Amino acid sequence: MTVESLKALAASGEFDAVKTPSIQKAIDDATATIETTSWCAENLDAATENLAGHLLALRVRGGQGVSGAVTSAKADGISVNYASGAASKNPADGYYESTIYGQEYLRLRRLQPLSPIAGNTQFGHLYNS
């Protein structure tokens, strides 16, 4: 995975203005976090790329990972509610459901054959680094 491939992942150009060292840090964090022996070879690259995209999106958005559809809005009081990602049976997955990249990471993780290790690490320590 490269800085260019991660920028290409964000079709909206979300990462275009992000400096290369920040993108590389997200790539390095994702690569170091994913247990490669727990993943099917055909999903590993996409999972790593989407995890890096998730980490970077949270950093770019200042921790605001909302990406769901608007479910309600108010005008003068300015109140907007968003739908969450796909409902998960694992409460810890809410962290990943907050971005489209995290949602795709979860989808790929669910395709893994009984892998309790794959992606079950929380990234709070990475976000604050």
Expressed as residue numbers, the domain containing 55 is: 3-65+99-127
Q: Is residue 81 a part of any domain in this protein?
A: no
Q: Is residue 72 a part of any domain in this protein?
A: no
The H-or-E segment that residue 110 falls in is helix 100-110
The better pLDDT of the pair 86, 91 is held by: 91
Question: Could you please report the per-residue DSSP string of 3-64?
Answer: HHHHHHH-TT-TTTTS-HHHHHHHHHHHHHHS-GGGS-HHHHHHHHHHHHHHHHHHHHTTT-
Residue 105's pLDDT band (cuts 50, 70, 90): very high
Q: Is residue 77 a part of any domain in this protein?
A: no
> Residues 52-87: pLDDT tens digits?
999 999 998 886 555 454 555 566 666 555 555 455
If one counts the domains in the chain, the total is 1
